[in-house]
Amino acid sequence: MDHSPIIYLVDDDEAVRQGLSLLIRTVGLQVEAFARPEDFLAAYDANAIGCVVLDIRMPGMGGFEVLERLDKARVTHPVVMITGHGSVDLCRRAFKTGAMEFLQKPIDDQLFLDTLQKAVKQHIATREKQRVSLEARQKFERLSEREREVFVLMAEGLSTKQIAKELGLSPRTVETHRAHLFSKLEVESLVQLIRSYCGLLSES
């Protein structure tokens, strides 16, 4: 399976599509160009790595409507808005709707490429953060109810003896639960345990 970043370019102007597509390929990025937003939405792969470039003014569905659809769908692709009719109000609206960047035509080649590469790096970092978060949650789900209780009291700073008294257990049993939760969560220290998983305690 090819995991190379893809730049989705949506612009009804054929000359712009061809010019920007050629430019994007010069830095080794894949590009899929669309004249119609409907065609882009039909072909769009939310699992791909990359970013979306949207022209604001297009016949029928405009760039803002596409951006709003992507935002409602909670997609993680950074979106770069482009236009030949820029204004402060349009720029403000783009950022408020979730765009990563707003560029005015004619677009400076280097600025455009720098923006795309920054967007791709941002998307890769977002995906990696999501992956780490998912793995942490999956490990956390392995804990028994008693192990979670021990975890909560450890996070509150209680000693083994204090936890044992609080839960009506022997210190040796608490140590056993402690060892199990360290093993299940694949951590080696209390600091690592709290740093990596304490946030999940409040959600459980």
What are the tens digits of pLDDT across the range 7-59? 999 999 999 999 999 999 999 999 999 999 999 999 999 999 999 999 999 99
Determine, yes or no, domain membership for 79: yes
Are residues 118 and 186 located together in one domain of the fold? no
What pTM did the predictor assign?
A: 0.79
Q: What is the CATH number for 68?
A: 3.40.50.2300
Q: What is the CATH number for 171?
A: 1.10.10.10
Averaged pLDDT for residues 142-169:
93
Are residues 79 and 99 located together in one domain of the fold? yes
Angstrom CA distances, 150 to 22, 38, 64, 91, 128, stand at 59, 53, 50, 51, 30
* Beta-bridge mates of residue 10: 34, 54
Separation of alpha carbons 194 and 180, rounded Å: 15
Determine, yes or no, domain membership for 194: yes
Say how many domains are in the chain: 2
Are residues 30 and 119 located together in one domain of the fold? yes
Neighbours of 202 (CB within 10 A): 8
Determine, yes or no, domain membership for 147: yes
Are residues 148 and 122 located together in one domain of the fold? no
Are residues 125 and 172 located together in one domain of the fold? no
Are residues 165 and 119 located together in one domain of the fold? no
Determine, yes or no, domain membership for 1: no
What are the tens digits of pLDDT across the range 118-140? 999 999 999 999 999 999 999 99
**Phi and psi at residue 55, in whole multiples of 5°?**
-75, 140
Are residues 10 and 98 located together in one domain of the fold? yes
Enclosing domain of residue 88: 6-135
